[in-house]
């Protein structure tokens, strides 16, 4: 009699997962999990951990991460961190635009001649009227907030464009006086004056800001104990001094003690080296000063033309 062969159930074989590299395991343990001395584990939901996760996640907007950075600056009692994050959000309205926000873009005009219509003609500052040559150049300070810049990039991409037209301050007044000179000399009419900004330049500035957030967190982490969740005021000041102001790194001496709640408590001390303040004559500040003078000239010429 033949035997009936019953197929044996297949064994599930799980592929062996290679162990994480030591540095990756250490990063996960510090960035995601906080361990108590009694062995309990909890997820690290501290502001620093949130900023760390958001800064490396392109799906999280820069505006969201910067708002958390303002809160972290308040917790760490650091005015400079709060001010920097606030200006990145709201824009640099005082004209003191940092160097990483200054890009180069060609100056363009649109106009009409007696025979044709001109669009996107590149000019130099020497083609401008005499009184405006020192006020404008191909150097463009991006003073807008990060939300505004990101929206301009999104809108340009949605429209299938690779560049954005940005009008300089005082462009309307400049065109009025410029066209007056053109009429006197028998030239054409200037319809628009603008910077032609490639959106890749704007994206580069936004990526720099995101990288700066990562660097700030990394500098704070480097001086914090393994199981600490927030930087001390001294550690935050050291990170801001090094990343935002170009100062030197500080060396921290950590003194360990056991707190009443079973967690390790640390006291830190450091010598923070702050670079001497340098008075910088930014191009944007110079432009504002020049246009203050030009505004007076424009008002006088406008009044003269009205009375004439």
How many folded domains does the chain comprise?
1
Judge whether 258 lies within some domain.
no
Judge whether 176 lies within some domain.
no
107 or 266, greater pLDDT: 107
Q: Is the pLDDT of residue 257 over 80?
A: no
Q: 239: Cβ–Cβ under 8 A, 6 or more apart, which residues?
A: 216, 219, 220, 223, 231
Question: In the prediction, which pLDDT does 44 show?
Answer: 58
Q: What value does the mean pLDDT take over residues 203-232?
A: 95
Judge whether 82 lies within some domain.
yes
Q: Is the pLDDT of residue 8 over 90?
A: no
- CA-derived radius of gyration, the chain: 29
Question: In the prediction, which pLDDT does 253 show?
Answer: 66
Judge whether 222 lies within some domain.
yes
Q: In what order do the strands lie in the sheet with 189-198?
A: 117-123, 107-112, 189-198, 163-166
Judge whether 71 lies within some domain.
yes
Question: Range of 286's domain?
Answer: 29-103+133-163+199-249+281-308
| Contact status, residue 101 vs residue 92, Cβ threshold 8 Å | yes
Mean pLDDT over each residue of the chain, to the nearest integer: 79
């Amino acid at each position: 009699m033949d035997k009936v062969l019953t197929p044996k159930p297949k064994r599930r074989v799980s592929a062996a997962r290679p162990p994480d590299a030591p540095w990756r395991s250490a990063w996960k343990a510090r960035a995601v999990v906080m361990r108590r001395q009694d062995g309990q584990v909890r997820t690290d939901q501290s502001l620093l951990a949130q900023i760390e996760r958001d800064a490396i996640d392109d799906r999280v907007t820069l505006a969201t991460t910067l708002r958390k950075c303002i809160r972290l600056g308040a917790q760490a009692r650091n005015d400079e961190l709060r001010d920097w994050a606030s200006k990145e959000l709201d824009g640099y309205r005082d004209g003191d635009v940092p160097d990483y926000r200054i890009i180069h873009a060609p100056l363009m005009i649109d106009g009409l001649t007696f025979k044709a219509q001109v669009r996107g003609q590149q000019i130099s500052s020497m083609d401008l009227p005499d009184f405006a040559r020192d006020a404008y150049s191909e150097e463009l300070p991006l003073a807008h907030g990060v939300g505004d810049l990101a929206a301009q990039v999104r809108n340009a991409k949605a429209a299938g464009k690779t560049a954005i037209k940005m009008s300089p301050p005082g462009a309307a007044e400049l065109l009025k006086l410029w066209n007056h000179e053109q009429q006197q000399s028998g030239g054409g009419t200037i319809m628009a004056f603008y910077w032609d900004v490639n959106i890749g330049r704007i994206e580069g500035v936004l990526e720099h800001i995101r990288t700066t957030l990562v660097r700030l967190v990394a500098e704070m982490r480097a001086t914090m104990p393994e199981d600490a969740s927030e930087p001390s005021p001294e550690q935050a000041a050291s990170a801001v001094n090094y990343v935002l102001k170009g100062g030197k790194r500080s060396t921290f001496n950590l003194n360990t003690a056991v707190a009443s709640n079973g967690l390790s408590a640390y006291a830190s001390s450091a010598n923070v080296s702050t670079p001497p303040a340098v008075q910088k004559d930014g191009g944007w500040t110079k432009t504002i000063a020049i246009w203050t003078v030009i505004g007076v000239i424009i008002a006088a010429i406008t009044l003269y033309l009205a009375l004439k």
